[in-house]
Structure 1
Amino acid sequence: MLERILIRSQPVPSDPPKRRGATTLDTEPGRLRLLGAILSAVPWGQVVIGAGIVMLAALVPWGTGQVLGAMDRQVMAIDITGELVGESRVALERAAGQWVGRSFFATDLSDVKDRLEQRPWVESAAVKRVWPDRLAIEIREKKPLAYWSDGRLVSRSGEVFAPPNPEVAGRLPLLSGPDERVMDVIRMARTMSDTLTENGLGFAGLSLEQRGAWTLTLANGIEVVLGRDQVTERFDRFVTVYQERLVSRANEVKRVDARYSNGVAVKWKAEAAPSGKNT
């Protein structure tokens, strides 16, 4: 006979229902940790310093402008210095006077310099501010080397210029030639002048014609025609002949033509007794 055995079993509870949004709740701490790691990795000291530098850089121009604005004054005087021969100090001060009364800081010094350097005698002008209300200008004049064609002057640097008062340059040699060949004339004149000085002769001038012929003038008034070709050789031959045959009668010689291959032709002054064409 079978016995009925009743076994009461406890009901097995079913899985609890999943809550919506569980994933969000699980990852929130991870995000916070990531954010904290990022923030901790930032060099906050450098960030603060960098931000301060940026702010300071932005404030400096503004502050500088405010300071200069408060310190700015009008230009009250202009001082002119420099060794002047051709220029007049009064004229320079009058020319620079247009900047008197202008802003000390806003005055464009390069404009002052450019305006003054347009004057014929001015080689360069150095301009600077002198606190609190002056401009100091140092003028360097062109140094004339010789008189040039049409009453102009040529400087030692080879610049031909036309001041209104070229005569103040004093006694100088007379050079002439095409303007574009001024440096050729200067080089030839320097070479000849040195040689003449070594031989006790003075240099007074040198002319280069458009077609290329050279004529030398000595300090004693003698003209030496050298022509276009073999100019150096002809000049050396003249010096030799002059020292050997003409030096004792130099005051009788008017012109010497050195365009001969074996000597020179001498033109005597009217009152001098001729001694033949060729020497």
Structure 2
Amino acid sequence: MLDRLLIRSRAVPSDPPKRRGATTLGPSRDRFGLLKAVLAAVPWGQALMGAGIVLLAALVPWGASQVLSAMDRQVMAIDVTGALVGESRTDLERSAGKWVGRSFFATDLSDIKEALEQRPWVESAAVKRVWPDRLQIEVREKKPLAYWNSDRLVSRNGELFAPANPEVAGRLPRLAGPDERVKEVISMAQTMADTLTGHDLGFAGLNLEQRGAWTLTLANGIEVVLGRDQVEERFERFITVYQERLASRSDEVSRVDARYSNGVAVQWKSAETASRSKS
């Protein structure tokens, strides 16, 4: 009986008092849970590496410009190289001399190239920097093929140009005709020159008149009138007649008119001119 009383008399903890007006809450939520999840999902190693690369890419140009600025100096000399005939090395160096004293690194080499290629004789100019303070220019001149209309030259590329000193080109064939037909004249001249060479004759010039008539000049001074039509056939006929009838008396011949269908008309030099040419 006593045991029972002792068990019953044990203090049973009462429920904690409830606050008036309070509502019972569930487990408290973590306010930063979403942020932590986002941060946990970010690959921080790759992100930091990417940021480092971006920073490095931004710093490289800046660093390079600082190094170049520290190394930069003025251009002190300009050297011109190349096989020159029409141009003067001194004149070229003087023309490029306005770049002396400018920044070695900041100077735009394309400006120098463009300026030099405006000169009549210059086909191309290659410009490069030579550390620490020089520029080197390699000039390639136009190769003249013939004189054109007595006051200009035509290059092997068919380009007409008018230097102040065309005579330095030396002994060249003389071609003439309308400027817009220059390539046609060159083509005809090359064909005729090859044929003449095969018959031991020299080519000196070819003239295309505005109305379309052709006149050939041989190296021995004989003029051959070929006209406008059937030019190739007339030229071949002249070659045949010359070899058979005129070769032995070529120093007496002044002009041959090949515009006839059955032969050629020969204009002979005067007796005085012929005797002078023989002596």
Cα–Cα, structure 1 residues 28 and 18, in superposed 2: closer, same or farther, change >3 Å?
farther
Distance in 2, matches of 1:132 and 1:50, equals 38
- After the TM superposition, which of the residue ranges 240-249 and 209-218 deviates more from structure 2? 240-249
**Alignment partner, residue 19 of structure 1:** 23
Distance in 2, matches of 1:27 and 1:234, equals 111
1:170 matched to 2:159? The reply is no
The CA deviation at 1:205 is 0.1
Give the 5 Å matches for 1:116-265. Answer: 116-265=116-265
Q: What secondary structure, in the 3-state scheme, does the structure 2 residue paired with 1:61 have? A: helix
- Residues 125-184 of structure 1: CA distance to partner in whole angstroms, max 9, x if unpaired? 000000000000001001110111142111111111111111111100000111111111
TM-score of the two chains, using structure 1 as the length reference: 0.86
- After the TM superposition, which of the residue ranges 210-219 and 148-157 deviates more from structure 2? 148-157
Contact residue 214 and residue 226 of structure 2 kept, 8 A:
yes
Distance in 1, matches of 2:83 and 2:102, equals 27
Q: What secondary structure, in the 3-state scheme, does the structure 2 residue paired with 1:85 have? A: coil
- Residues 198-251 of structure 1: CA distance to partner in whole angstroms, max 9, x if unpaired? 110000000011111110000000101111111111111111111112111111
Quick one: which of 28, 31, 39 aligns to 2:30? Answer: 28
Distance in 1, matches of 2:122 and 2:96, equals 13
Distance in 1, matches of 2:124 and 2:107, equals 19
Count of aligned residue pairs for this structure pair: 257
1:61 matched to 2:61? The reply is yes
Q: What secondary structure, in the 3-state scheme, does the structure 2 residue paired with 1:28 have? A: coil
- Residues 54-97 of structure 1: CA distance to partner in whole angstroms, max 9, x if unpaired? 11111112111111111000000111100000111111111111
Over 2 Å off, 4+ runs: 15-20, 25-29, 34-41
The CA deviation at 1:123 is 0.6
The CA deviation at 1:41 is 2.5
The CA deviation at 1:37 is 3.6
Which letter does structure 1 place at the counterpart of 2:203? F
Contact residue 176 and residue 208 of structure 2 kept, 8 A:
yes
- After the TM superposition, which of the residue ranges 239-248 and 189-198 deviates more from structure 2? 239-248
Cα–Cα, structure 1 residues 18 and 232, in superposed 2: closer, same or farther, change >3 Å?
farther
TM-score of the two chains, using structure 2 as the length reference: 0.86
Which letter does structure 1 place at the counterpart of 2:247? V
Distance in 2, matches of 1:232 and 1:28, equals 104
The CA deviation at 1:36 is 3.6
**Alignment partner, residue 79 of structure 1:** 79
**Alignment partner, residue 100 of structure 1:** 100
**Alignment partner, residue 40 of structure 2:** 40
Contact residue 148 and residue 174 of structure 2 kept, 8 A:
yes
Distance in 1, matches of 2:266 and 2:233, equals 18
Gaps of 5+ in 2: 1-17, 273-279
Distance in 1, matches of 2:230 and 2:22, equals 118
Distance in 2, matches of 1:56 and 1:239, equals 79
The CA deviation at 1:106 is 0.8
Distance in 1, matches of 2:145 and 2:52, equals 62
The CA deviation at 1:26 is 4.8
Distance in 2, matches of 1:49 and 1:149, equals 72
Distance in 2, matches of 1:252 and 1:53, equals 88
Distance in 1, matches of 2:181 and 2:64, equals 53
Which letter does structure 1 place at the counterpart of 2:158? G
